[in-house]
Amino acid sequence: MNVILLRFGELYLKGHNRNIFENTLIKNIKIMLEGERFKFEKTFGRYVVCNYDEKRENIIINKLKKVFGLYSLSPAKEVDATMESIMQEINNIDCKNKSFKVFVKRADKTFPIPSMDLSKKLGEFILTKNEGSSVDLYSPQCEIHVDIRMNKKAYIFDKIIKCQRGLPLGSSGKGLLLLSGGIDSPVAGYLIAKRGMEIEALHFHSYPYTSELAREKVVKLANLLSEYVGQIKLHIVSFTKVQEEIHKNCKAEFMITIMRRIMMRVAERICDKYNLGAIITGESLGQVASQTMQSMTVTGSVVKEKPIFRPCIAMDKEDIMKISNEINTYQTSILPYEDCCTVFLPKNPVIKPTIPQAMREEEKLDIEKLVLECVDNEEVMIIGKETN
């Protein structure tokens, strides 16, 4: 029988809480495969997806590859864990004129032949049945895996496909991602979701200074991200008045600093409103003026009760771009539509602001009124398919 064998990683470390993480992972697998015909089975240390439409195997595999918490998977043949059945299936593998290596994993210790002995026995069998074949333990052209499990089944496969790894989505609470139209913030959302955190997203737009195309770009980014992180509630906040007030009343070099401090205040209020536990940003240390150590200290200081997670903080741009390409957000992120952070951009923004300096500039504004107007007039969109 054709099956897909699933392996999970960090769940092994969870001790008495492991069942909670496993149940979350199983739920997410079933959600990801919603609409497919399949049967899900669980055996010690492995999951098995079977009874699916074999014509859709590649589609199912591509869906499973996006599930956080899965370590790897393998399309496999399931046979009874008997020497006769294993030999019969091995006989169907073509290794003619190829080098090969046999890997045996014997989780079921009641199977009568030890792993090393079985590996040698199967290797000898392959050599006799495949003209021109040879054993290569270091760089074989063909890898043959035999995984004998405690459900009295053996799984035979020739490839291991990497999955997302990490922790099951939903096992680490829920946070609010500041989603701009750039490269970094979708990557930050992906990385924090990989640690099990569900996300909602907050986008600031500045119509008419930014176009509707810029807004549509962010909606598309949220859609692409939802393929990995599930349904996203996207909060869209008009930031036009805030930026106009800062531009009119504050020193130009502090424009970005004050703007980001108000963004952080709005983000924390939305977290409180929707019971979200953290703020997530795409900041990378030193990348731009607003992401120096001093700037992040000043902008983050207005957040009183929520942690600020910065998954990209120690990554360089090349690393971030690589992940962006892998999750298919890069081409959308580089579309040439301005976001609100480019509006009224000063020539020489301050790169080492202090909290007292920022507070003096903010005395020129009615901060509370501006924040409340942003929160009270938010627009909410639901992006992606439902996950519950």
Instruction: Tell me the pLDDT band of 200, cut-offs 50, 70 and 90.
Output: very high
What is the dihedral angle through the alpha carbons of 67, 70, 76, 78, rounded to the nearest 10 degrees? -110
pLDDT tens profile 344-367:
677 788 999 999 999 999 999 999
Mean pLDDT of the residues in the chain: 93
Q: What per-residue confidence (pLDDT) applies to 388?
A: 40
Give yes or no for residue 370 having a pLDDT over 80: yes
2-162 is a CATH 3.10.450.40 domain: no
Chain position carrying tokens 């150590």: 293
At residue 6, does pLDDT exceed 60? yes
Task: Give the pairing of strands 70-80 and 2-8.
Answer: antiparallel
pLDDT band for 290, please (50, 70, 90 cuts): confident
The pLDDT of residue 98: 93
Report how far residue 112's alpha carbon sits from residue 15's, in angstroms, rounded to the nearest whole number. 30
387 pLDDT more than 50? no
Which CATH number applies to 174-383?
3.40.50.620
The domain spans of the chain are: 2-162, 174-383
> Quick check: 386 pLDDT over 60?
no
Nearest Cα neighbor of 155 from 108, 123, 217 is: 108
| Whether pLDDT at 312 is above 80 | yes
Residue 184, CA distances (Å) to 159, 202, 215, 327 in order: 33, 14, 17, 12
Which position has the token pair 């930050």? 188
Helices assigned H by DSSP within 143-211: 184-194
- The 10s digit of each residue's pLDDT in 79-105 is 999 999 999 999 999 999 999 999 999
Mean pLDDT throughout 220-241? Answer: 95
pLDDT at 337 over 80: no
How does pLDDT run across 53-67, given as a tens digit for each residue? Answer: 999 999 999 999 999
Q: Please give the model's pTM, rounded to 2 decimal places.
A: 0.91
